[in-house]
Structure 1
Amino acid sequence: MTAVNVTPTSRIRTEVRDAVGTVEICNPAQHNALSVRMMTELAAALRAMDEDPDVRVVVLRGAGERAFVSGADISEFPARQDADVRKTADEAATTLFTRLSALSVPVIARIHGYCLGAGMALALGADLRYADTRGVLAIPAARLGVGYPLDQTAALVQTVGPAAASDLLFTGRRLPAIEAQNMGLVDRVVEPDELGKVVDELAATIAGNAPLSVRAAKASIRAVRRLSEGDEAAGSAALGLAMEAVTRCGTSDDLREGALAFLEKRPPRFAGR
């Protein structure tokens, strides 16, 4: 097991255990609201996870009992009237969500309590979203005078469709986790005392599979999404990376190990090469 804080005073905690990387947003006194500094630290933590060869899947979670992430830190909003402060905040957010969208390993959002605004953007950037029955999801941008970022709006539309996205963005209303699941915003909802176990089991299953195959699958899914967005350049680039990833699987040691393990009727021991 390896546990690392990005800085000694960081509100972002990371841990790697059994090929599962956990990134915890730790600001429970403010329901894990994201300050600009925390966005910068979180982007750095995600990058470190993606560059760690021991990490095969990432779990993104919030500290405490009341929130995944309750949004951006509203106490910083007045200062953003200054152009330089606003530019810094916008750049931190752009870097964070660009980093999240570029991760090569699967990301699971473990959602409990409030998942609002920037928290929803983080969840939408994950590949899988699991929540407990006390989860509450919303994008209250219209109630705060905030223009929700275009990239995150696109992710929302891709996930739930234009009508449901319009409902969420126009009203700013809060959805219980079950309604969010019915809308397609959440993949699974469980009781609060089961969430940790269920997410841990899911992460362990993914981590136990051939990492090159899992990365190739994620790259292929990303390529399909990029192509569906109509961005020819981005779609072509993503398609090229996906084809390389799939080809690499065909000549990997893991492919030979998978076949041998099947014949020997034993669990495979994948090395990621």
Structure 2
Amino acid sequence: MTVSDAELTVETAGPVARIVISHPGRRNAMTPAMWRQLPVLLDRLEADERVRALVLTGAGGTFCAGADLGDLDELLAAGDASIAVAAEERLAACNRPTLAAIEGACVGGGCQLAVACDLRIAAADARFGVPPARLGLVYPAPATRRLARLVGPSAAKHLLFTAELVDAERALRIGLVDEVLPPDGLAARVDALTATIAGRSRLSIAAAKEIIDDRAGPARVAWWHRRARDSGESREGVAAANERRPPVFRWTPPAG
């Protein structure tokens, strides 16, 4: 099934949904309409219980060259209340595991989207950059903190202070991406990884995501432990391991 909304395309194949950024002629720069549409698409996909993992990628061999700056006065006035920040925060809070599959340019707003995903797999030709210091802009605080948590304060400052592009190998060394593949091997690796994730316990993954992202206090962690006990997920997982068979996990994230 393929559904197009503005310049974002959603493709679903079994339990994996793929959101494709497409803006021909602008290296997939995100327009205001695209920023507004991303949370809508995420809401729709989260409501589909068949979807167990999400992939964010770009069309035509480019991930995303950033935000279409458009009305600079509007951008400056919005600050951290911008539609771009709202879209990134919604992506980061998605209750499905998210993976950015990155080719070509992953710059500015594109890099922010990639960092808002749980995992990042890059082709060897990918290039990454965070350009606000070249443009005289202030990088949004949520994106700055998320970047620093991912790569560490020093590497984040290097990216932000220099606004230089870094290649995929350097991105791998500093922890900006998790794996680097030859361009012709990226799709197969993304398919294999998402298939593995889709077959794991959704309860385990959802709990791990909340805890790692520091969105689960003690009461919420205790709630997750109760769900693991009461849902039967743990018993099924242990039984499957003992019986040397694939587990059948049935827990689904609660609506909302």
Is this a same-fold pair by TM over 0.5?
A: yes
Residues 144 and 88 of structure 1, relative CA distance in 2, 3 Å threshold: closer
Q: Distance in 2 between matches of 1:124 and 1:162?
A: 15
Q: Distance in 1 between matches of 2:111 and 2:150?
A: 12
User: Alignment partner for residue 198 of structure 1, among 179, 189, 196?
Assistant: 189
**2:3 corresponds to:** 4
Residue identity opposite 1:4 in structure 2: V
Q: SS of the residue aligned with 2:9?
A: strand
Q: Which digits, 9 at most, give the CA deviation of each residue in 1:94-116, with x for residues without a partner?
A: 32022112111211111110000
Contact 1:108 1:127 (8 Å CA) reproduced: yes
Contact 2:17 2:55 (8 Å CA) reproduced: yes
The CA deviation at 1:218 is 1.1
Which consecutive unaligned segments of at least 5 residues does structure 2 have? none
**2:169 corresponds to:** 178
The CA deviation at 1:62 is 0.6
Percent identity between the two aligned chains: 37
Larger helix proportion of the pair = 1
The CA deviation at 1:34 is 0.3
The CA deviation at 1:251 is 1.5
Q: Describe how 1:209-220 pairs up with structure 2 within 5 A.
A: 209-220=200-211
Q: Distance in 2 between matches of 1:82 and 1:28?
A: 24
Q: Describe how 1:44-123 pairs up with structure 2 within 5 A.
A: 44-65=40-61, 67-74=62-69, 76=70, 79-82=71-74, 86-87=77-78, 90-123=81-114
User: Alignment partner for residue 128 of structure 1, among 111, 119, 143?
Assistant: 119
Residues 25 and 165 of structure 1, relative CA distance in 2, 3 Å threshold: same
Which consecutive unaligned segments of at least 5 residues does structure 1 have? 227-234
**1:264 corresponds to:** 243
Q: Distance in 1 between matches of 2:94 and 2:194?
A: 16
Q: Distance in 2 between matches of 1:257 and 1:32?
A: 43
Q: Which digits, 9 at most, give the CA deviation of each residue in 1:66-105, with x for residues without a partner?
A: x10100013x1xx23258x954994311320221121112
User: Alignment partner for residue 162 of structure 1, among 140, 153, 174?
Assistant: 153
Q: SS of the residue aligned with 1:109?
A: strand
Q: SS of the residue aligned with 2:111?
A: helix
The CA deviation at 1:246 is 3.2
Q: SS of the residue aligned with 1:64?
A: coil
Q: Which digits, 9 at most, give the CA deviation of each residue in 1:126-169, with x for residues without a partner?
A: 11111011000000111112211011010111111111111111
Q: Which digits, 9 at most, give the CA deviation of each residue in 1:227-249, with x for residues without a partner?
A: xxxxxxxx64xx43343233212
TM-score (normalizing by structure 1): 0.85
Q: Distance in 2 between matches of 1:32 and 1:246?
A: 42
Q: Distance in 2 between matches of 1:210 and 1:96?
A: 27
Q: Distance in 2 between matches of 1:187 and 1:216?
A: 21
Contact 2:80 2:141 (8 Å CA) reproduced: no
Q: Describe how 1:226-237 pairs up with structure 2 within 5 A.
A: 236=217
TM-score (normalizing by structure 2): 0.91
Q: SS of the residue aligned with 2:156?
A: helix
Q: Distance in 2 between matches of 1:13 and 1:242?
A: 35
Q: SS of the residue aligned with 2:11?
A: strand
Aligned residue pairs, count: 252
Q: Distance in 2 between matches of 1:257 and 1:162?
A: 41
The CA deviation at 1:269 is 2.3
**1:29 corresponds to:** 25
Q: SS of the residue aligned with 2:25?
A: helix
Q: Distance in 2 between matches of 1:70 and 1:81?
A: 21
